[in-house]
Chain A
Amino acid sequence: MIPEIGQFALILALALAVCQTIIPLVGAHRGDAAMMAVGRTAATGHFLFVAVSFACLTYAFLVSDFSVLYVANHSQLALPTLYKVSAVWGAHEGSLLLWILILAAWTLAVARFSSGLPVAFAARVIGVLGFLSIGFLLFALLTSNPFDRLVPAPADGGDLNPLLQDPGLAIHPPLLYVGYVGFSVAFAFAIAAMISGDLDQKWARWTRPWTTVAWMFLTLGIALGSWWAYYELGWGGWWFWDAVENASFMPWLIGTALIHSLAVTEKRGLFKSWTLLLAITAFSLSLLGTFLVRSGIIVSVHAFATDPTRGFFILSFLAIVVIGALVLYAWRAPALDSDVGFSPLSRETFLLLNNVLLVVATALVLIGTLAPLVVEMMSGGKISIGPPWFNVAFLVPMLPLVILLGMGMHTAWRTQNADAWWRVLRIPAIAAIVLGVIIPLLFYGRVSLMLVVGCGAAAWIVISALIQPVRSLLRQKGTAGITRSALGMSVAHLGMGLFVIGVTIVSAFGVESDQALQPGESIEVAGFEFHLVGLSNVQGPNFSAIEAEIEIRDDGKLVDTIRPQKRQYLVQKSWMTEAGIRAGLDKDLFVALGDQLGQNSWSVRIQYKPLIRFIWLGALVMAIGGLIAISDRRYRAGSRAAEAPA
């Protein structure tokens, strides 16, 4: 009965989404206030019914109702409760429902916090979001119903994919989706502005915080996914340029460009049509990512179970949304040209450079992801494009970007006096180059051109990001301090600097070694001694494991004892590697247990990963920067000011 309620709630949500779309849009067109007001109510109801539906599915998982096909395929009696909950989004149907829930939640948030917006504009935004909801609800109900029954119900389920039985992965999809789906708000703001043909600096101010929040979540979601891949896939890498990763990375790159371009549009009223295009592109890439991941068009490590009809459905929806948006764009954008100039040495130029390079980077990721398919369709031959290509290709736009970033922060709007600019930047520049040589040489005993470039760039970003906040700290009380917005920018850039140093050091000095070990034996890797004490059998709730006890010594002194496992999940019979990691801010020591080689000998992969934590720490700091930026007074003051005349 509960699953039927869930499905019925989903159908009602669809009906409300239709109301939420049509009535406010028509109302805004006619200037009918009553009709426009329906949008908010419908959005609330729509969210409630989706939430009920989601709760029903969660309930079916919690009580292990295997008469529901989706539950039977992706859960099991012995599954720990946490994973019963996260199993809800552990496969296609449920994760789609999560997507729908999050879209409804964003819509509700917009409906709640839009009191400062002009009524017609808010109504259009809600209408556009409703349209997006219709597409996904139809997708769920027509091709991917999570409530389909299975008769007769099996006694036990097929278990959740063991890869997903991990706390990190339990929260990774929700974070990622909040980010992904969050770009729908910027998209809806863009469409609403284009429908009315009205777009000014206020539009950018309204759009900015929403975009930043979505970007923050996407940043965290991607970082969490990378961290999870690092410890759970068992191989110690943190980014694989897999199609699924690229699918989430492309919206992030364009989202980052959008945040910067919105800054110009808000401050100076420039680049309006370009900003609109980025807002459309960010969400379109979210949709494209969904298509790539769920249609089976591309081979990936962690693809969903695939089905061509689903692929066609998403592709059709993608086509309607994107073509619709771009037709509107082609019609409206020409009127948005602004006749304001700026000098080549100005903040505007640097933000433009940022945008150009980020768009190039996105294009490269897209090309790398799709080129094998293009080649295959044109010539029939198959090629692979893997990390060796991506690592080089991505660096081409990214290296200039990180260097320009430090300059851009200290450049004035409109025009910048070159002498003054040089006076501010020369000391940081020299310091960065010196640090670029010193850091690798002093801490790691080796230096090369790439290391100087990497460490120097990181130092450069960190120093230039800190100049403003430090100055405002040192300044006497009473004088104007740094705005939250500027502080947020500094912090986010600081995060970028931490990320760059992490990547540079770990790729240059990381050590990886496959070894054979017997109990009682020791092996030295990267100056640390790894001693295999022994092996034992361990029973988990739904797996049995072989656990190695490994002592790590540095100069004979015990650093830590780690226990990597090799698990066999009982239902799916698949083996999983649970790495043993001694985590530290300066380095990780990582041991993954491989196969039994002989009677008493085991293969292990031992890794030394210096500063790898800085990669995720950097992402976290970037997200914190976003948080600080949206707390800026002007977003609240701005909304109140607009509220007053209404």
Chain B
Amino acid sequence: MKRLVAVIATLLLVSSAFAIDDGVRFDDPEMQARYEKLISEVRCLQCQNQSIKDSNVSLAADLRREIARMITEGQTDEDIAEFLVVRYGEFALYSPRKTGKTLILWLVPFLLVLFGGYALMRVLKHRMSLPMDSDTEQ
């Protein structure tokens, strides 16, 4: 396992020298916005924990180019997500898809707040039933 880490470290070092990019520019500002958002939500697989927007390794540059191509071809965000998942798995998406099993993740915050509200209601009900005053501090 140590060796693997060494391998990846070497990869990172070597391939970062390959970086070439200036931003992709679309004529359509809406496409541009979609592009910026998409590349900030795709994980750079060669890196530790960075999006392909923030990384200059070669694969990140390739993926940015592919995403730009797919946007120009008129593919939807879902198509692009599917493209990445087929090749790299769900791991490539920083924003878990709102379909299938990963949908649960998006429901968790709401479920927890609801649960918190329920717990709170129970406490309040109990406290309302108690006498309001005993002596308080000072």
Interface residues of A (CB under 8 A from B): 201, 233, 235, 237, 240, 242-243, 266-269, 299-301, 303, 338-344, 348-349, 352-353, 356-357, 359-360, 363-364, 367, 371, 381-389, 392-394, 396-397, 400, 413-415, 512-516, 573-575, 594-595, 597, 601, 603
Contacts and interface: CB of A to CB of B under 8 A. Distances in A.
B94 A387 contact: yes
Contacts of B13: 573-574
Given A342-B132, A389-B106, A396-B109, A356 B116 contact: yes
Contacts of A303: 48
A371 B107 CA distance: 14
Contacts of B136: 267-269, 413
B82 interface: no
A363 B112 contact: yes
Contact of A389 (B21, B105, B112, B129): B105
B109 A393 contact: yes
Identify the 7 closest CB pairs spanning chains A and B, nearest first.
A386-B94, A514-B23, A341-B130, A388-B95, A516-B22, A396-B109, A382-B91
Nearest to A298: B49
A113 B81 CA distance: 58
Contacts of B93: 383-384
Given A242-B49, A340-B132, A342-B127, A385 B105 contact: yes
Nearest to B19: A595
Contacts of B51: 386
A603 B61 CA distance: 13
Contacts of A352: 120, 123-124
Given A396-B113, A514-B23, 7 more contacts: A233-B54, A338-B134, A364-B112, A383-B90, A386-B51, A389-B105, A603-B21
B123 A512 contact: no
Contacts of A516: 22-23
B62 interface: no
A349 B120 CA distance: 9
Contacts of B110: 396
A301 B123 contact: no
Given A389-B105, A512-B36, A341 B132 contact: yes
Contacts of B109: 360, 364, 392-394, 396-397
Interface residues of B, number: 50
B132 A383 contact: no
A360 B54 contact: no
B67 interface: no
Nearest to B18: A595
A325 B53 CA distance: 44
Nearest to A271: B123
B86 interface: no
Contacts of A382: 89-91
Interface of B: 13, 16, 19-23, 36, 40-41, 43, 48-51, 54, 56, 89-96, 102, 105-106, 108-110, 112-113, 115-117, 119-120, 123-124, 127-134, 136-137
A568 to B, nearest CB: 11
Contact of B108 (A299, A393, A595): A393
A575 B17 CA distance: 9
Contacts of A387: 40-41, 94
A381 B89 CA distance: 8
Contacts of B130: 339-341
Contact of A300 (B16, B48, B95): B48
23 contacts: A266-B137, A269-B136, A301-B49, A339-B134, A340-B127, A341-B128, A343-B132, A356-B116, A357-B113, A360-B116, A382-B89, A383-B91, A385-B105, A386-B43, A389-B94, A389-B95, A393-B109, A394-B109, A414-B132, A513-B23, A516-B22, A574-B13, A595-B19
A268 B137 contact: yes
Contact of B102 (A266, A383, A394): A383
Contacts of A603: 21-23
Contacts of A384: 43, 90-94, 96
A513 B24 CA distance: 10
Contacts of B49: 240, 242-243, 299-301
A33 B108 CA distance: 52
Contacts of A393: 106, 108-109
B21 A595 contact: yes
Given A356-B120, A594-B56, A344 B128 contact: yes
A249 B132 CA distance: 36
B50 A349 contact: no
Nearest to B134: A340
A185 B120 CA distance: 29
Contacts of B16: 575
A496 B31 CA distance: 35
